[in-house]
Structure 1
């Protein structure tokens, strides 16, 4: 028995279950132990890899399982960087990304080549290869940025954009140098490389998005299948890149870009992608990086130490100068410069690829290989510390996520979602998750109102069961929800009372269903809720998945900018478009357009915006000429007696339901001053009954067009 136990714990550990348990134990404890001394968890994982690796205690060796998980983690880092990239912000800053990519590519090479060729005495090809290695960087410290919520800061956006440019250039140089060392550089080599790269890009951006959109639309209910599909795309893209003569990390990043618009940043699918990657695969990769490090190389002679120190100094100084040049070019703050430096300083994935290929082809010697391993450890440590400190300063300075969507103070935001139809609840909850303020500490309030009758207790039990099902769905995107069930004389009264108790500023309802003639006379439920509440109200009908939508079209009537809730709904629609990476088209008159432009300037949004002029707002039917089957249609209305209200807006929900039967539509009513509703003390009446009777009688004798 003792011999069996002793054999199981012999180094290196060969039992896969015990080895996996050891790695998980390290992933769990490293960040916890280093947090009190303010050392980033990434450093703990790398150091842990050094300790347990073949060159340390030799508890774990670089076997096939470790290499597999490490490869997955490496691809995961690049994929998440691509999928979290704000494409609107990237388009806005693409010229800055190009310039940073040029700086972070050319400056390290210009420093590294003369150092390697003239000081260290290497030949032409090895010097070019080592110098190009200085230009690469891996986003090892990117998880730090995401944990601080500054992944959409412009400095991060241009660093990510520059990463793919410089790494692609370096890996192409690697292919050329490898070919040159083997005597294979000819016209056929260049033609093959160009064609294979073009085919790869066509498949990733021309075919994969179409397949993904079809899959997400047809297999909408199978959430697990969505995640498996995404992983399949990532590894297929990595393989395709390898076949094209590039490194797999380029394929993973391109896969993130290809799926970027199809996976909202606040969705349940994105939550699953980030959770599994940050919990398992990425830590595995960081530990495996540490396992490569052999500290003993420093004691194999002065030349090894000289090369290791020289390579490390050149690598760090080259990246710092590139960040400094970028700061001067775009007038960034010191914290943003350090953030760029921290993100771009760590050498791991592409660096290892360059050096290992060079070593296996006999281009570089063992001293450079060992020195590079030390360089990887030191740059990862420096990058982690600098990124952590810069991220803290950016958050403290209030510079995080300058997309403008959260400029309005929303610390007290309260959203209520009354349950009416469970079949339409999931897309409405997804919509609420997308527009919810990230600054608000309050959960989404899911409300079920049960009429006070003989079946009240039974209906209340059923309501709580429905609420539990809704909470399970919300947990997929880690959305906090508060479940509220209450009994009231009527549904509108219960919603109104809850709105006042929570001081809610937003209600999200499903689309009103057809009602009888009697219901129309005494007040439809939706209109009753509208008249009894003061908060911003969104009526939603989502017939199509969000991934199929290509734009957001917002119809804004005259004087809508004068309403109390104008800033609120403007911000929410910008946030929706940002999450879904969609452009916005506003349909309004010239005066309202000026107000919207001023609001957009204050929000500093990167969402592409266009305007279409429409002046005849007494003819609402004319808006049909602006509709698009693949757009989310947003109709801005107003409560009766408000500034922007006009007779043409009356009964708008009914007309929208008739004209736009198969489209995603949102009808929104801006908030108003408290206690202005006409039936505050009424239980049944929701509008002047005689006006409603005359209107319904008129409708009976009016033929619909």
Structure 2
């Protein structure tokens, strides 16, 4: 007789069903529990990842599946940032984004380099690479801000634009430092990098919209359109890698390229946001949490000292950049909170820099130990910095976003008017119903929840009631489409 074991007894779990079940349980219950005690669920997912990960109770190993899903989640965050941004405001605030991007890069670079050389007694190359880790940041808090409905705020717009600038410059510093250690920084290096970036930018910003416009006109299947969007995101990320820059830049530019082709209020946008917030982004946050090792608190004083200095310098530098931006452009306190909350979190680019620096061996000690560009103490300090900065960023961004959302809601209360907005949608032709409904939903104002009316002219004297059945069938289809965007569709028969 063959006996099949139902449950695993060894850790970490290897059964894919149990692993996926555990992750889904974390994604499901973490927001429900933490919302009751006013803690951002983004932070909860990171902590949950630390608990179940290899440095916690070791329920799940950070294997290739977690890394793949986490990478997809990070690219998704950057893609959504580019897709949801208001291009009109983005162009209008482009100079402000450049100013903020330069501030949030130069201030951490300056403070980090001085700190690395004179306080931590590092070499110049190590100090500069450490400072570039402070300069970069990850938009960890963006899904939280987007959920609260303030993603189009000017402070968010400027911060997202500045993120592209500072991350590009920080990763360029990483490439130069790596090239210097291997002796590859020369005129040919700069020419190759410049040409590849220009070709990459032309393909994404000019060819991607042409391809997207052709595809959306040619194919109207919902699943095909969503898969096409995913293909374009990863294609943009892959082209960025080929150009010698980080994939997150490619994902962001892909979002900008497809911005005009995907209406912010549309079924496709609804699917993109739903899948990202439900699956990909939580996987990324849990994967970040798995990197955190709470045991470093108890290893040695040197790790604690380095981690404390890194956290202080990174947080101070990002706060100074946010404060300067607020004073220069006259932003409110809550807008400064948004800028600081979005730009303070260290994760993706920081992790990439520290892992690259840790892998570079400059030589060996007399005892045979490798001398690394970034040693193990900095590696452990970076993990702690990721935990603390993500925590600070989540709380600050949530506070600012909630206050701004309440203020905008109060200011946007509808005024009494004798002429409310009404949009009539003719539904006599089944072939054009979907397009007309999408058009009506796209052009309506945000406050209009009950102003869409389905219009059908029925002649009962000739059809003996059959037209009523046809009209109700079409109206049912229209109501389903409208429900996908939280809009009520009223029936008006004449």
TM range (shorter): over 0.9
Asked if structure 2 preserves the Cα contact closer than 8 Å seen for 1:410 and 1:439, the reply is: no
1:103 and 1:407 map into 2 onto residues whose CA distance is 37
Q: Deviations over 1:294-320 (max 9, x none)?
A: 010121110000011111111111111
2:243 and 2:425 map into 1 onto residues whose CA distance is 50
Gaps of 5+ in 1: 487-493, 495-705
The verdict on how the C-alpha distance between 1:55 and 1:254 changes in structure 2, with shifts beyond 3 A counting, is: same
Deviation of 1:152 after TM superposition, in Å, equals 1.0
Which residue is 1:303 aligned to? 302
2:464 and 2:93 map into 1 onto residues whose CA distance is 58
Q: Which moved more, 1:86-95 or 1:355-364?
A: 355-364
* Structure with the higher fraction of residues in helix conformation: 2
Deviation of 1:375 after TM superposition, in Å, equals 0.6
Asked if structure 1 preserves the Cα contact closer than 8 Å seen for 2:449 and 2:488, the reply is: no
Q: Does 1:164 align with 2:171?
A: no
Asked if structure 2 preserves the Cα contact closer than 8 Å seen for 1:81 and 1:256, the reply is: yes
Which residue is 1:246 aligned to? 245
Q: Does 1:450 align with 2:458?
A: yes
Relative contact order: is structure 1 or structure 2 higher (C-alpha 8 Å, sep ≥ 6)? 2
| RMSD (Å), alpha carbons | 2.0
Q: Deviations over 1:371-410 (max 9, x none)?
A: 111111111111111011101111222289x9xxx79748
2:444 and 2:347 map into 1 onto residues whose CA distance is 37
Q: Secondary structure at the match of 1:484?
A: strand
1:277 and 1:409 map into 2 onto residues whose CA distance is 35
Which residue is 2:473 aligned to? 465
1:386 and 1:456 map into 2 onto residues whose CA distance is 64
**How do residues 137-176 of structure 1 correspond to structure 2 at under 5 angstroms?**
137-176=137-176
Q: Does 1:481 align with 2:488?
A: yes
Q: Secondary structure at the match of 2:465?
A: helix
Asked if structure 1 preserves the Cα contact closer than 8 Å seen for 2:460 and 2:467, the reply is: no
Deviation of 1:485 after TM superposition, in Å, equals 6.3
2:124 and 2:77 map into 1 onto residues whose CA distance is 33
Deviation of 1:474 after TM superposition, in Å, equals 3.4
Which residue is 2:379 aligned to? 369
Q: Deviations over 1:48-99 (max 9, x none)?
A: 1011000001011111111110010010001111111111101101111111
Q: Secondary structure at the match of 2:62?
A: coil
Which residue is 1:34 aligned to? 34
Which residue is 2:272 aligned to? 273
Which residue is 1:695 aligned to? none
Which residue is 1:4 aligned to? 5
Q: Does 1:260 align with 2:259?
A: yes
Deviation of 1:457 after TM superposition, in Å, equals 3.0
Which residue is 2:396 aligned to? 386
Gaps of 5+ in 2: 361-371
Asked if structure 1 preserves the Cα contact closer than 8 Å seen for 2:426 and 2:433, the reply is: no
2:3 and 2:131 map into 1 onto residues whose CA distance is 54
Which residue is 1:434 aligned to? 442
1:68 and 1:33 map into 2 onto residues whose CA distance is 27
Q: Secondary structure at the match of 1:453?
A: helix
2:421 and 2:57 map into 1 onto residues whose CA distance is 53
Q: Deviations over 1:243-277 (max 9, x none)?
A: 11111111111111111121111122111111111
2:169 and 2:440 map into 1 onto residues whose CA distance is 42
Q: Which moved more, 1:175-184 or 1:436-445?
A: 436-445
Which residue is 2:368 aligned to? none
2:43 and 2:70 map into 1 onto residues whose CA distance is 16
1:456 and 1:96 map into 2 onto residues whose CA distance is 65
Q: Secondary structure at the match of 1:433?
A: helix
1:479 and 1:446 map into 2 onto residues whose CA distance is 16
Q: Does 1:336 align with 2:313?
A: no
Q: Does 1:76 align with 2:76?
A: yes
Asked if structure 2 preserves the Cα contact closer than 8 Å seen for 1:449 and 1:485, the reply is: no
1:3 and 1:461 map into 2 onto residues whose CA distance is 56
Q: Deviations over 1:394-443 (max 9, x none)?
A: 1222289x9xxx79748965544342322222222111111222223436
The verdict on how the C-alpha distance between 1:313 and 1:50 changes in structure 2, with shifts beyond 3 A counting, is: same
1:234 and 1:410 map into 2 onto residues whose CA distance is 44
The verdict on how the C-alpha distance between 1:483 and 1:385 changes in structure 2, with shifts beyond 3 A counting, is: same
Q: Secondary structure at the match of 2:458?
A: strand
**How do residues 542-691 of structure 1 correspond to structure 2 at under 5 angstroms?**
none
TM-score, normalising length: structure 1: 0.66
Deviation of 1:11 after TM superposition, in Å, equals 1.6
Asked if structure 2 preserves the Cα contact closer than 8 Å seen for 1:413 and 1:442, the reply is: no
1:9 and 1:215 map into 2 onto residues whose CA distance is 49
Which residue is 1:131 aligned to? 131
